[in-house]
Copies of this chain bind each other. A is one copy, B any other.
Amino acid sequence: MGFQQNTLKKLSEILGISISTVSRALKDHPDISAKTKERVKELAATLDYEPNNFAVQLRTQQSNVLGILVPTIRNYFYDFFISAVEEEAVKHGYSIMIMQSLDKLSLEISNINVLRRNKILGLFVSISIETEDMTPFRKLQESGIPVVFFDRVAEVSGFRKVCLADEKAAQIAAKSIIEKGKKNVLALFGHPHLSITKLRYASFKNYFDIHARDSKVTYFFPEQVEASREVCLDVFKTEIPDAVFCMGDMILMGVMHAVHEAKLKVPEDISIIGISNGLIPTLYDPKITYVETSGFKLGKLAFKQMYASLKGFNEIEEVILDSVLVEGGSL
């Protein structure tokens, strides 16, 4: 509407001093006298003066925006991650711009361009399922925009990464299953293309190969809730495994549907263990035992990395966040 933004020029005219003096006064420049500063600040306050960010940014060639690029925000893990980053960002005076790739490469790339055009200071990214070429990210880095990968990280070196201890998480699960004496295990993982799946699968399998050669472990890679349910029901037709390992929440949900449909009691008839951010496992009764992978903690860690990079004192390439077993009653 008729609303007009106040500018330095306007203030300077009212006060009868120059624009540059006003600018300096507002920034507490040492050259400016206390009296002038006071006058300027008072007027600025009463007029609700707000600097025009575009002009500042054009002049200084940098924004205060950090980008986050995730497959989807409809996911507790990313939610928590984003929350954590945002919390820290606000503390340090940065803003956050969030974009979703929806696991599509084309969207990921166009989002990167949007972020670049918005002159983000730095980028947090968890790559899409389809991503293989790291060139766009390398380009960002080369143009001075630090990139911090998290969760689903680039498999090549030369990038900063914060990861969950994925091998460790899967190992902890494997160890727990073995310790409980479960010999016949159904292990369900996610999309086999993702490095997170590869890591978890490899270390889970490896742990069993070394510590429980006599166990029977069956592996499947269903991607979502429905696929997991179907895999389970299919397996149950032949035999009921002692324990089911679920790599993620979606898989767990599918498994639990199957377990109920097959009228199996947990943990009497069948044991369940998962890897999760924490909400879903607590919804069941008994609560599901799971290895915790905290998006929140990861977010805090990622921000630390980013901040260090922005300030130019980051030497560390990869940080790994440990996992913990949270006992429910399902194992």
Contact partner of A50 (CB less than 8 A), chosen from B55, B110, B113, B284, is: B113
Task: Check if A83 sits within 8 Å of B76, measured CB to CB.
Answer: no
How far is the CB of A327 from the nearest CB of chain B, in Å? 17
A257 to B55, CA, bound (A): 55
Query: Interface size of A by Cβ–Cβ distance < 8 Å?
Result: 50
Task: Check if B53 sits within 8 Å of A55, measured CB to CB.
Answer: no
A219 close to chain B: CB less than 8 A:
no
Q: Counting chain B CB atoms within 10 Å of each CB, which of A73, A96, A99, A119 scores highest?
A: A73
How far is the CB of A51 from the nearest CB of chain B, in Å? 7
A82 to B73, CA, bound (A): 9
A143 to B99, CA, bound (A): 27
Contact partner of A53 (CB less than 8 A), chosen from B51, B119, B283, is: B119
Q: Given A1-B143, A117-B50 in contact, is the A74-B74 Cβ separation under 8 Å? A: no
Task: Check if B72 sits within 8 Å of A74, measured CB to CB.
Answer: no
Q: Which residues 292-321 of A have a CB within 8 angstroms of B?
A: none
Which chain B residue shows the least CB distance to A253? B283
Task: Check if A118 sits within 8 Å of B86, measured CB to CB.
Answer: no
Q: Which residues 194-216 of A have a CB within 8 angstroms of B?
A: none
Contact partner of A76 (CB less than 8 A), chosen from B51, B74, B119, is: B74
A107 to B86, CA, bound (A): 12
Residues of chain B contacted by A57 (CB below 8 angstroms): 54
Q: Which residues 236-266 of A have a CB within 8 angstroms of B?
A: 253, 256-257, 260
How far is the CB of A55 from the nearest CB of chain B, in Å? 5
A114 to B51, CA, bound (A): 11
A260 to B253, CA, bound (A): 18
Residues of chain B contacted by A97 (CB below 8 angstroms): 95-97
Q: Given A113-B50, A142-B3 in contact, is the A96-B95 Cβ separation under 8 Å? A: no
Residues of chain B contacted by A114 (CB below 8 angstroms): 95
**Per-position binary interface string of chain A over residues 47-65, scored 1 when its CB falls under 8 Å from any chain B CB and 0 otherwise:** 0001111110110010101
**Per-position binary interface string of chain A over residues 93-129, scored 1 when its CB falls under 8 Å from any chain B CB and 0 otherwise:** 0011111100000010010011011110000000000
Residues of chain B contacted by A63 (CB below 8 angstroms): 54
Task: Check if B58 sits within 8 Å of A83, measured CB to CB.
Answer: no
A285 close to chain B: CB less than 8 A:
yes
A144 close to chain B: CB less than 8 A:
yes
A150 close to chain B: CB less than 8 A:
no
A260 to B113, CA, bound (A): 50
Task: Check if A95 sits within 8 Å of B73, measured CB to CB.
Answer: no
Q: Which residues 139-163 of A have a CB within 8 angstroms of B?
A: 141-144
A256 to B284, CA, bound (A): 9
A80 close to chain B: CB less than 8 A:
yes
Closest 5 pairs (CB-CB, A-B): A260-B285, A3-B143, A54-B58, A54-B57, A74-B79
